[in-house]
Structure 1
Amino acid sequence: MRTVRMLTAAALMGAALFGGAGPALADSPSPSPSASKSGAAPTEAGTAFRTAVAVGQGQKATASGSTGDYLYWMFPADAGQRPTVTAKVTLPDAATRHGSATWRIDVYDGLRRRQPCMYGTQSRAAAPDAAAVELSCTLRPTVAWADTWSNDPLPGSYYIRLTAVSLPETDRGLPFKTEVVPTVLDTGGAHAVDGKLATPLGAKSAVEPDGGWASGWWTDRWVWTAAGGLLAALAGVGGYSLTRGRGRPSHVPRGM
């Protein structure tokens, strides 16, 4: 009976753990492209890191510029999020252009370190008769903490830079329009690490993620840790029950 009570208690503990974790697991792998609550989407861009225009996760920022200029935006990315930046450049009228041009987007973290793209078309050549060019860059998942010598992406502000890196000299200054959208995907506990930054990089000058910084404190690592502990407890109870059962004689003759 004692063994039965122990098994029942362990099962109830597991049910409570997994029952409370269910809703959080359903939310963790889904993308979070909701628009920022800080106001309308920006309609201009900065011309340097210090003048970068803040844009919320999922917002579509629009701007006009002159071909050859650098345009800058900034957006927030929290721990456990994988940022993706997409850009569409509406090119100057083909009749005014004198050749092809190559457009490029780069993404930098709060320390202004350029982050490599895991996926996407970071640069693309536009033919002389093309009307638009589309670019994209998906970064590595952001981690909560990293060694100072590493280049791992950390929570905080991320900077987007858009420009034409190769074009005929006579085409410099031609007007163009662009749309830029930063989105994030929550990766759950797969990339969780031990440790946390005291303050997100450049967080004071950027809009916050939905729910504030470090909003994704729950990860599915907690569930797997709890599941491992529960299985270990059940295995211990089962082993104890089997060992005790084998050590007790099944029949004791009278008079012994």
Structure 2
Amino acid sequence: MRTSFLRTAAAALALLPALALTAPAATAASPSPSASGSPAPANKAGTSFLTAVNLAPGQDAAVSVSTGDYLYWAFGAAEGQTARVDLTITLAPSADRHDEPQTWSVEVFDGLRRRQACTDGVQTATAGKATGSLALSCTLREIRSWAEPWSGDPLPGSYYVRLSVPEAPQPDLGLPASVRLHVAAKGDEDNAQPEGGELKAPLVPPAGGGAATARAAAPEEPEEHWYTGWFSGWNSRWFWTLAGGALAALAGVAGYTLTRHPRGRRPARYGAVPPQSGAPQPGPYAGSGQP
């Protein structure tokens, strides 16, 4: 029994060098997810602002879509950065498309869903039947630290990318296509020019799955006056009803007094009614029945 145990232990020790040599090879054969240093491309896109797919910094998107769909993505941009969006659209095979051209367009919106102007790039492109792919791009203005309420300057926060097909033949709608999106941002807070102001909070919209964040300001207390209670509360309706009824009664009495004639008196301007000529005058016994 003891001899068999010793033989088993010796065999196990003999296998240890072989396992040590094969372990590094197995580890090297399986690549690490973080070896590339960038997140994996997103394989889906949203269909509205509320369902936009959030992209991490440096993350791309590669999706298969149908011609005519509205596609939405969201990404974040900080103060001092200049964001750029690049898209490559691979169209359906030319044999499946018709002779009329297709027009694809890319737009970028800020957290308040205001369309931002592009300083560089092709935002709208048209593809003929022989065209196999399209390239769209948009370079935003530098993100500012603050802006006036009436202006549309880009501010720190989230931004939306919308890809659409404004014009396409009706039979081509629904044909398969593929889109690859790349978002890049250069610069940082040190590159931002001083603007003389500071943003209280970044513009972070409700993006992804309809999640919403509520932000309410503190209500202002109304100013009190001696007549404040007359216009509010449960007794305001009764007060104004009674006051209106009293005023209507007084107006009716005053109008009747001003328009009615004095009782028992005849206006002097008419005078007495003269007797009619030729008409018999009643005698002293008129109405008595005597001759």
After TM superposition, the score normalised by the length of structure 2 is 0.56
Q: Distance in 2 between matches of 1:44 and 1:59?
A: 13
Judged with a 3 Å threshold, the aligned counterparts in structure 2 of structure 1 residues 43 and 155 are, in CA distance, closer, same or farther, namely same
Give the 3-state SS of the residue equivalent to 2:171 in structure 1: helix
Shift of 1:100: 1.2
1:85-164 alignment runs, 5 A limit: 85-98=85-98, 99-164=100-165
CA-to-partner distance for each residue in 1:171-206, whole Å, 9 max, x for gaps?
111111100011111164453322222221116758
Judged with a 3 Å threshold, the aligned counterparts in structure 2 of structure 1 residues 41 and 112 are, in CA distance, closer, same or farther, namely same
What code does the residue aligned with 1:196 have?
E
Q: Distance in 2 between matches of 1:189 and 1:60?
A: 25
Match of 1:184 in 2: 185
Between structures 1 and 2, the one with greater strand share: 1
Q: Distance in 1 between matches of 2:56 and 2:185?
A: 10
Q: Distance in 2 between matches of 1:152 and 1:197?
A: 12
Match of 1:249 in 2: none
Q: Which moved more, 1:195-204 or 1:166-175?
A: 195-204
Shift of 1:36: 8.6
Give the 3-state SS of the residue equivalent to 2:95 in structure 1: helix
Give the 3-state SS of the residue equivalent to 1:170 in structure 2: helix
Higher relative contact order (CA 8 A, sep 6+): 1
What code does the residue aligned with 1:57 have?
P
CA-to-partner distance for each residue in 1:70-125, whole Å, 9 max, x for gaps?
00000000010011000000101111111211111000000000001000001111
What code does the residue aligned with 1:162 have?
L
1:194 equivalenced with 2:196 (yes/no): yes
Q: Which moved more, 1:194-203 or 1:119-128?
A: 194-203
Identity of aligned residues (%): 43
Judged with a 3 Å threshold, the aligned counterparts in structure 2 of structure 1 residues 145 and 201 are, in CA distance, closer, same or farther, namely same
Q: Distance in 1 between matches of 2:51 and 2:120?
A: 28
CA-to-partner distance for each residue in 1:221-244, whole Å, 9 max, x for gaps?
xxxxxxxxxxxxxxxxxxxxxxxx
CA contact (8 A) 2:92 2:177 kept: yes
Shift of 1:60: 1.5
Q: Distance in 1 between matches of 2:206 and 2:70?
A: 23
Match of 2:71 in 1: 71
Q: Distance in 2 between matches of 1:47 and 1:201?
A: 21
Of the two, which has the highest radius of gyration? 2
Q: Distance in 2 between matches of 1:89 and 1:68?
A: 12
1:1-256 alignment runs, 5 A limit: 39-98=39-98, 99-186=100-187, 188-189=190-191, 191-202=193-204, 205=207
Shift of 1:66: 1.0
Judged with a 3 Å threshold, the aligned counterparts in structure 2 of structure 1 residues 157 and 190 are, in CA distance, closer, same or farther, namely closer
Q: Distance in 2 between matches of 1:167 and 1:81?
A: 35
What code does the residue aligned with 1:202 have?
V
Judged with a 3 Å threshold, the aligned counterparts in structure 2 of structure 1 residues 192 and 204 are, in CA distance, closer, same or farther, namely farther
What code does the residue aligned with 2:165 have?
A
